Structure 1
Amino acid sequence: MASITVTIPDEQLQKLQQLAQESQVSPEDLLRANIEEWLARPQDEFTQAASYVLKKNAELYRRLA
């Protein structure tokens, strides 16, 4: 596993530590979970948008085929 170092303002660090404490996890685990969610989200949004367009235009695509 690779690691990365990010510099954040003290105010953001305090908020991160508070959120982690409230969730009873380490700040690192909280960040890791949020990064995983963020990285997965664009694919989900694209899939949803593509599905919507295909359904919306199904009749048009059928006529053009």
Structure 2
Amino acid sequence: MASITIELPDSQFQKLQELAKVYGVSAEVFLCATIEDWLSNPKSDFNQAAEYVLNKNAELYRRLA
């Protein structure tokens, strides 16, 4: 298993610890779960929104082309 080290500003680290505490896990476990979820669901909200707009306005784009 690989490991990485990252530097976070104190304010971000504090937020990370607070979120982990809400879920009752360590910051490391919380980060691992979050990264795992992100990697298994790579489609971001932006991509979903862009896809929606492109599909919604497809006819308009065809006319303008």
TM-score (norm 2): 0.63
Number of matched pairs = 44
Q: Which runs of 4+ in 1 moved over 6 A?
A: none
Report which of the two structures shows the higher radius of gyration computed on alpha carbons: 1
Percent identity of the aligned residues?
Answer: 55
Unaligned runs of 5+ in 2: 49-65
Tell me which protein shows more helix as a share of its residues. 1
- CA RMSD in angstroms comes to 1.4
Equivalence for 2:9: 9
TM-score (norm 1): 0.63
Q: Name the SS for the 2:4 alignment partner.
A: coil
Equivalence for 1:27: 27
Unaligned runs of 5+ in 1: 50-65
